[in-house]
Structure formats: structure tokens, C-alpha cells
Amino acid sequence: MPLELVTIPCLSDNYAYLIHDAETGQTAVIDVPETGPILAALEAHQWRLTDILITHHHDDHIQGVDALRARTGARVLGAAADAHRLPRLDQTLTEADSVFLGCDPARVIDVPGHTLGHIAFHFPDSRLCFTADSLMSGGCGRLFEGSPAQMHASLRKLAALPPDTLVCSGHEYTAANLRFAAALEPDNPQLTSRIAEVAARSAKGEPTVPVRLQIELDTNPYLRVHLPALKTAVGLPDADDVTVFAEIRARKDKF
Ligand code: ZN
Ligand code: FE
């Protein structure tokens, strides 16, 4: 049976996610921006938290971890590479490690770029990938620590997952990301219809995440840097993919 997924808005624009395995009763949270909404969601579903999975060390993803551990006794898992700047870890993770949640083990994927120790969690059987601030809905995280080449390589790994994978990212940035995407690809019909869908969901106060990977492949400019249309849009028709990626990421920072 696939894992149940609950999307939890936190702080002003963060997301945490709960996943629950009905067979074993195991429940994990991915990132802990704050404890209140997560405890409320656990209570509403009558689930007991067993695991806290951390994607990266930024405060808006980890600041509730210690309090949530104290309240629930859940074990905490995060990147070995960032153990020195994460809350105390009960299990450290490196790429290709498995995280067992019920019968659907997640594979850990290194996705440096936003930070150097950023990891993603891919649950192949449930078709879920928790990408936080690496691949984001309609965009990607800002490059605080990694190089454009590192982030580009990280996104290539995520882009290679099955296209029906649900991408669960860390923030509600979709509308702004798609405005920027449309400036690059004004004639992309899938982008135009996605912008309308996102506006409709936002108007109802609904999250615009998670998103099927195929939709990202069709509309997210950072996954499309190999396409002539994108290269031409930034005036680099003959440049390699990483150069085009770097140019697009730099333009977004000034957009
Ligand atoms: Zn971050
Ligand atoms: Fe963040």
C-alpha cells in the first residue's frame, strides 16, 4: 500500500509533510519549520510520529526539530555531511542509503546547490520525492553554497525519476517562479495553463504543491536548459547546459 501524504503549511511560506504507513503505523515528518501545525496534523489523523527526516540545515527547515523530538520521541535522520550543523541525529545518511518507512524504503539522493549538504528522499513505490529547496515547484532553490554546476547536476538526478513522481518541495513560491518562467517562455502552452491553475488554487487558499514531475519537466525552466528554446531565450544559443542554467539562475535573482 502506498504511503499516505499530508501537506502542512508552516510559518509564512514553508511546507512540512507527513507520510504514514498504514500497515506498520510508522509516520515520518519531512522538515520541521515549527511544531504547532505538525502536532495538530498528527492529532487530527491520530498518528504517532516515529521519524523526523531533515533535508538541509537552514533554520526554516529544522528549528522545530528538537521540540518535536522531545514531544514525540521520534528518531531524527539527516545528512552525515551536515551533522555538525543539524540537530542531534540518531541516524546519519549518505547518498543511496535507505530510510525504512514501513515496506517502502526511501532512497537518499544528494542534491547539493542550495546548500552543500542538502539531501532529497525518494520513495519509489509511493511515487514521492521530498526535494525541499533543491527542485522546487516551478523553480529551484537559491545557490547559497553550491555552484551552478552542482545544482544543475542535482536537478538532472531528480529529473530522471519516474515522471509520475510527486515532487514535494519546501516553500510556496510557485506563482513567482512561474511568472519568471513565463518571461523566458511566453509561448509555452503548458506553462500558460499551469499559471492559470496555480492562480485558481491560490485564490482558494490551497497549496500549489506537491506537483507531478512531468509538469515540472514541461514548465520549470531549470529542468529545460538543454532545450534550444531556453538557450535562445537567454541569448546563449550555442552555450552548454550548465552555462545556460547559471544564466537563468542569475536572472531569477534579479527578477
Ligand atoms: Zn533552505
Ligand atoms: Fe527553505
* pLDDT mean over 233-244: 98
Question: At residue 103, does pLDDT exceed 90?
Answer: no
Distance CA 245, CA 24 (A): 43
* pLDDT mean over 98-124: 94
Residue spans of the domains in the chain: they are 4-254
- Going by pLDDT thresholds of 50, 70 and 90, the confidence category of residue 3 is very high
Question: At residue 1, does pLDDT exceed 90?
Answer: no
Determine the distance separating the centroid of ligand 1 and the alpha carbon of 204, expressed in angstroms: 27
Three cell numbers written together for 141 = 532553490
pLDDT at 198: 98
Determine the distance separating the centroid of ligand 1 and the alpha carbon of 58, expressed in angstroms: 5
- Going by pLDDT thresholds of 50, 70 and 90, the confidence category of residue 38 is very high
pLDDT at 101: 85
Determine the distance separating the centroid of ligand 1 and the alpha carbon of 118, expressed in angstroms: 9
In this predicted model, what pLDDT tens digit does every residue of 152-202 receive, in sequence order? 999 999 999 999 999 999 999 999 999 999 999 999 999 999 999 999 999
How does the average pLDDT of the chain come out, rounded? 97
In one-letter notation, the amino acid at residue 59 is D
CA distances from 243 to 101, 103, 182, 224 (A): 39, 41, 20, 13
Q: CB atoms < 10 A from the CB of 69, how many?
A: 19
Q: Domain 4-254 classified CATH 3.60.15.10?
A: yes
Q: Residue 4 is inside which H or E element, if any?
A: strand 4-10
Residues with CB under 5 A from ligand 1 (ion): 58, 133
